[in-house]
Structures are given as C-alpha cells and as structure tokens.
Structure 1
Amino acid sequence: MLTEHHRLLHRLAGRWRGAEMMATTRWAPAGPAESEAVAEVALGGTHVFQSYRQVRDGRTAFESRAVFAWDGERERFAMFLFDTMGFVPDGPGIGVRDGDGLEFTRRSARGAGRHRYVFADEGRYRLTVAFAPAGGDWTDMLEGDYQRLD
C-alpha cells in the first residue's frame, strides 16, 4: 500500500536539469556545473530509480545511480547510491522528512555524506550535498537548483 512517504519520494520523478555550484573538495576544484537527473517511479510505486550526470567544462565529471525507498518496517527513508567514485556503500543513506523535503545521511569508514532535497513546487527542487570526513566537520560540497523538463 502506497503512503504519503511514497508520494513524497515520487516528487523526485521526472527529467530534471540543474545549475550547480561546486565547492573545492579533495576530489574536484570549485566552480559551476550543469547536471541532468532522470528519475522514475518503479516497482509498483514503492521505489524511485534515479540516474544523474554532472557536466563541467563540456565533459561528464560525475555520474551516479540512486534508489530511493520508504522502509515501512523501520519507518524511515533509504537511499542506495552508487557513483563514479567507485566506493561500494556500507549500507543505505538513512532519510528523514525535512519540512517539505528529504534529508539523507550516508556513513562509512571514510566519513559521512548528507543530501538535502527541498521541493520548491511541483516543477523545482534544490539540492545541497555536504561531506564530513571521519572525525571531521561538515563541509558543503554542492548547491544546485533543478527545474523539471517534462
């Protein structure tokens, strides 16, 4: 049975284009980027599958695939994320509702990543991504504003 939690995840569905600003990280220099995300509601509405591609200087700089779900048994959201960095996740990012959005925190021996999605309306959302190395403080990595294309 689909719930309000599933419907919140469904807001990620669609084809999106975004303008991003990257901060300097250990993986990449600071600067602007463009991205496209394509997400579909799947498996009877219980999951959302997302493909993401970031372009910098005319070339693909980063890609990821994510699966978003509502874990009704544990009463929490989950995000399974795989990307071109190649790390196999220790487990899902655990998610909570954050006002009119979602916040997922992933943890591993390397540190923690936080993805915060804020839905402005049906055709737009903002994403911020932060990272904290093991034992370190949170640092913002990415801020993006995304518009639905379809």
Structure 2
Amino acid sequence: MPRPDAEHEKLARLAGTWTGVENMHPSQWMPNGAEASGVTTSRVAVGGFTVVTDYEQRMGGQVTFVGHGVYTVDPRNQNVVLYWFDSMAGQCEVFRGSWDGDSLALFSENPMMGHLKLTYEFQSDDTMNSAMDCSQDGEAWNRLFDSVYTRSER
C-alpha cells in the first residue's frame, strides 16, 4: 500500500481551524472593496494523501461566500493540486502549483476570471498570509484579496 511522501506531509501545515480578516480589493465583483472575516476548517484525510477544507466568508454578520476544497499531490510531477468548489462558480476549479520554502503558490485559469494565483505564506506554524490575484493575460496581475489567518485549533 502506498504511503504519503514529504510533499503530502507539507500539506498538513494547512490543517486546523484558521480565522482571519480579509481585505477585499476593489474589483468588478466588489467595486468599492470591503473587509470580511473568514474561517477555514481543514483536516488531513484519505490516509494522509489529502487535506480537505471548508471555508466560510462573512460580511456584516451574513455568510457571503462558501467553498470546499481538496488538496493533494500529483505523483507524476509532485505538484500540489487543489480541487476547489464554491458558491460563486458552481463548478470545480483546479489549481496547480508548488511550495517554495514556507510559501505555496497555486495557479488556475477559467473563462470568467482569466488567470488566477492563490498564495499561502506561513509566517509561523500558526500564522498564515493568503492572497488571490487575477489577470486577463497572465502578465499584469490585480489583487482580489489579501488576508492574515491565525490557527485557533490544530
């Protein structure tokens, strides 16, 4: 039976309950920008081969966005793969990328938003910065949001 490798073990850093404040930058979906709160609950699953995550965003006390993701490692190239489902798209978005030290950068492309870049940067074991950028051409990027999350439970 196969066993998770070092790349799978890196994904375990995402496990736990993370809470934070999100700075939503002005965009076509939110012309004035806004501040939101986010909670992500993630767990190691499938014998250590995946991390399963559920996300909820709130503004003004109301749930405004929810998502569900599964992170894993592609054994062919050791890239991290995120299969993401959310209340905005209603379909699966596939992100691919890799670790560089304490940072994970994942990329995707879709007709509605163009190129997407999702980044996680661990400042410590229990503090993580996250950001998403979008681009129509893959060259000039615009920030959609940035946030700082603190892990409250492992």
Q: Is the 8 A contact 1:33 1:56 kept in 2?
A: yes
Q: Is the Cα–Cα contact under 8 Å of residues 67 and 81 in structure 1 kept in the other structure? A: yes
Residue 71 of structure 2 aligns with an amino acid whose one-letter code is: F
User: Is residue 10 of structure 2 the alignment partner of residue 15 of structure 1?
Assistant: no
Deviations 1:58-91 (A, max 9, x none): 11111111110011123211011111112423x6
User: In the alignment, which of 54, 65, 70 is matched to residue 73 of structure 2?
Assistant: 70
Aligned match of 1:123: 126
Deviations 1:83-118 (A, max 9, x none): 1112423x6211111221211001123311111001
User: Whole-Å Cα distance in 2 between the matches of residues 147 and 121 of structure 1?
Assistant: 9
Write the distance in 1 (CA, Å) between the matches of 2:138 and 2:17: 37
TM-score normalized by structure 1? Answer: 0.92
Separation of aligned partners in 1, 2:90 and 2:63: 18
| Residue ranges of structure 2 left out of the alignment (5+ in a row) | none
* 8 Å CA contact retained: 2:115, 2:135: yes
| Structure 2 counterpart of 1:43 | 46
| Residues 22, 148 of structure 2: 8 Å contact kept | yes
Partner of 1:53: 56
Maintained 8 Å contact 1:68/1:77: yes
**CA distance in structure 2 between the partners assigned to 1:140 and 1:79 by the alignment:** 20
Structure 2 equivalent of residue 92 of structure 1: 94
C-alpha RMSD of matched pairs (Å) = 1.6
- Secondary structure of residue in 1 paired with 2:119: strand
Aligned residue pair count: 149
- Give, in whole Å, the separation in 2 of the partners of 1:10 and 1:95: 16
Which amino acid is 1:72 matched to?
P
